[in-house]
Structure 1
Amino acid sequence: MARNISGKKVAILTENGFEQVELTSPLEALKAAGATVHIVSPQTEKVKAWDNDHWGIEVPVDVPLQNAKPEDYDALVIPGGVMNPDFMRANKACVQFAQHFLEQGKPLASICHGPQLLVETGMINGRQMTSYPSIQTDLKNAGAIWSDEEVVVDNGLVTSRSPKDLDAFNRKMLEEIGEGQHDTTGQFTTA
């Protein structure tokens, strides 16, 4: 991954129960490409990963969500896992944080069950997306155009299905962050 995104500031928004590799792999790719990355969470000190079928590592929270300003970041990454997005979509502050990136056309990368949070923004109608197959109906019901591909890119929005797609996900995430903000004029309609 040769793309250099030095000077870019990226938030990884997460809660307890994120799929471990879906946070650690993009985090490593972002840092290797020169980005400054902050773990942002409703938790104030640390978040705990889910690793396949058991609890995994704990990751320090860099910026508690209550202190985070989405306008301070160039891009957002939302890891999956079953618990993580479910907790976040029920948290209005998480929804509003993610909504900022969609409204402003800033790169947003979400994998696996992560797009469940984006459903709550009401801003994915007409967007090309993928996800873990079990939530495709949720995305379709929110107006997304869902397809079963390793990575789907729609005007700065990067989505992938599962950990097996991480290489493609990370590559496209870095590419979109490198391109920067996208024009959102006339992009959003309600479902």
Structure 2
Amino acid sequence: MKKCAIIMDNGFEELEAMGPIALLRRGNVDVDIVSVEGKEVTGRFGVTYSPAIPMDEYDFSQADCLIVPGGPHYKKIENNDKVKKVIRRFFEDDTKVLAAI
């Protein structure tokens, strides 16, 4: 695996994002923080990742893996057709990895 995208919206669970980010980066995997909206994203306990890449500006075809951390933001993600389309693309592509926590 060469590149991993972690897609988040405000309200994500910090531990479920930070753990994979830290482990993947320690393993020399390029990790991109992708925000559903804007250039930063804030977790449920106030930790903010900035800068983040707005998903409308991100080329998901360059990512080998997509991670979706859990948390209260799941309701926004569940109702976002753009995010669901990206998740479905990773799910249907046997060359990609999809992970959700």
Query: Is 1:87–2:81 an aligned residue pair?
Result: no
Give the partner amino acid of 1:108: L
Q: 1:102 to 1:61 in 2, by over 3 A?
A: farther
Q: TM-score, normalised by structure 2?
A: 0.92
Following superposition of structure 1 onto structure 2, how do residues 1-191 of structure 1 map, counting pairs within 5 Å? 5=1, 8-50=2-44, 55-82=45-72, 84-105=73-94, 106-111=96-101
Native 8 Å contact 1:70 1:97 kept in 2 = yes
Following TM superposition, the consecutive aligned residue runs of length 4 or more in structure 1 with deviations greater than 2 angstroms are none
Distance 1:61 1:85, change over 3 A: farther
Over residues 136-188 of structure 1, what are the superposed CA-to-partner deviations in whole Å (9 max), with x where a residue is unaligned? Answer: xxxxxxxxxxxxxxxxxxxxxxxxxxxxxxxxxxxxxxxxxxxxxxxxxxxxx
- Corresponding residue pairs, total: 100
Matched-pair contact (CA < 8 Å) for 1:41–1:61:
no
Q: Distance in 1 between matches of 2:86 and 2:38?
A: 16
Query: 3-state SS of the aligned residue for 2:10?
Result: coil
CA–CA distance in structure 1, aligned partners of residues 7 and 49 of structure 2: 12
Amino acid at match of 2:98: L
* Larger CA Rg, structure 1 vs 2: 1
Distance 1:90 1:61 in 2: 24
Query: Structure 1 residue 62: deviation in Å?
Result: 3.1
Residue 34 of structure 1 deviates from its aligned partner by 0.5
- Percent identical: 30
RMSD (Å), alpha carbons: 1.2
Specify which structure has the bigger relative contact order, considering alpha-carbon pairs within 8 angstroms and separated by 6 or more residues: 2
TM-score, with structure 1 as normaliser: 0.50
Q: Secondary structure in 2 aligned to 1:43?
A: coil
- DSSP-derived class of the 1:18 partner: coil
